[in-house]
Amino acid sequence: MKDKLALRLAALFLIIAAILVAVATVAVRNISRATASSDWVNQTQALILELGSLRAGFHASDAALRALAMGGGEQEAAACRLALAQLADSFEVVKALTRSDPAQSAIVKRLGVLAAGRETLTTESLAARQTGKLDQVRNLLAADVAAGTAGEISRTVEKLKQEQMALLAARDSEAFRQAQTTRWTVWGGVILNFVLLAFTAWLVVDDLASRRRAAAVLQAANEQLETRVRERTAELVAANEKLQTENLERRWSAQALEHQLRYNEAIVNSLSDPVFVLTKAQNISRVNPAVAHVTGWEPPQVINRPLLGFVRLLESPRHFSPGIIDPVAQALKEGRDLRDLPAVVHDRMDREIPVRFTLFPLRDRDKVVGGVVILRLENPPA
């Protein structure tokens, strides 16, 4: 986006510079033309004026010559020579002014020939007048009128003057057009440059607005991202705390359970009387350390074996029917205690140790699932 704008601005400034250069070139060229035209106009106007003087001088000399022919004296002769001299001066000026134009030069050359004829006529007329031959003067003038020299000179000068006037008018129109062209070119260039500058300003303003919008969008996106990061972090922290809590809870639960089991086991193990825990089928599921201490049987040798393989009741309880073969099974079935019955336990050396037998049914939620047998030694060791 930035590079695109820079390219556009560079292109616009190049166009503006090109227009400025073009306008300046056109203006300078037209100014040069105007200057050259001004010189030409001055020269042409000088020529027109000089042609007027030439024509006037010619008429003056012609008038002086005729006055001389009409019987004039020295005064008219002097006037005639003065008019001739002025005519010659004007002619030299006209000749100089038309030197650069071959067509005009040719016309002026022709005028020179005619003027020379007039000078000869004047000279001859003056000479004839000095000798008093007025008739000869009149004849010379009549011959001149007949030749039409004066009229030709007058027409030629007038024609040249009219041509110069026409050229001047044409040059004036051309100068006006050039001035208009220059004016339109300069104003057109200025207006176009203003339009381009306005477009450039609009581009810059639009780009700034776009950048502001983009910055705002970016800022909003960043804020949204930060919010999401904060939320996600909070979620992770909460999840981590929950995990830690759950982990702690599990450790606590295991610890409490282990403590409870150890405590319960300690209660049984702390008894010095042998204790047997039975299943409902009278198999031994657990013993306390006193069993090994009293009988020499280690737990692996007694676990999952029938109690009757180690302990034998010497008599049935009185409240049992005489037909009951297995009072332990019957007690467990009925959920009854057997208390303080005479019995013997076989030790590892196959000796019989007299004990008092007590059985408590083991209940789990009001259901008998086994029993606990405690043997109290008849003759405990000292």
Specify the residue, 249 or 298, whose C-beta has the smaller distance to other proteins: 249
Question: With contacts defined by CB under 8 A, how many residues of the chain interact with other proteins?
Answer: 14
Which of 116, 169, 256, 369: binder of other proteins (CB under 8 A)? 256
Near other proteins by CB under 8 A, which window of 76-84, 126-134, 238-246, 327-335?
Answer: 238-246
245 near other proteins (CB under 8 A): yes
Specify the residue, 230 or 262, whose C-beta has the smaller distance to other proteins: 262
Q: Cβ neighbours of residue 219 under 8 Å, at least 6 residues apart?
A: none
269 near other proteins (CB under 8 A): no
Shortest distance in whole angstroms from residue 292 CB to other proteins: 26
Which of 173, 222, 260, 270: binder of other proteins (CB under 8 A)? 260
Which of 158, 206, 249, 334: binder of other proteins (CB under 8 A)? 249
Residue 198's Cβ-count burial label (10 Å; 0-12, 13-18, 19+) is exposed
Shortest distance in whole angstroms from residue 256 CB to other proteins: 4
251 near other proteins (CB under 8 A): yes
Specify the residue, 135 or 241, whose C-beta has the smaller distance to other proteins: 241
Which of 38, 240, 253, 269: binder of other proteins (CB under 8 A)? 253
Specify the residue, 142 or 243, whose C-beta has the smaller distance to other proteins: 243
Binding stretches for other proteins (CB under 8 A): 241, 244-245, 248-249, 251-253, 255-257, 259-260, 263
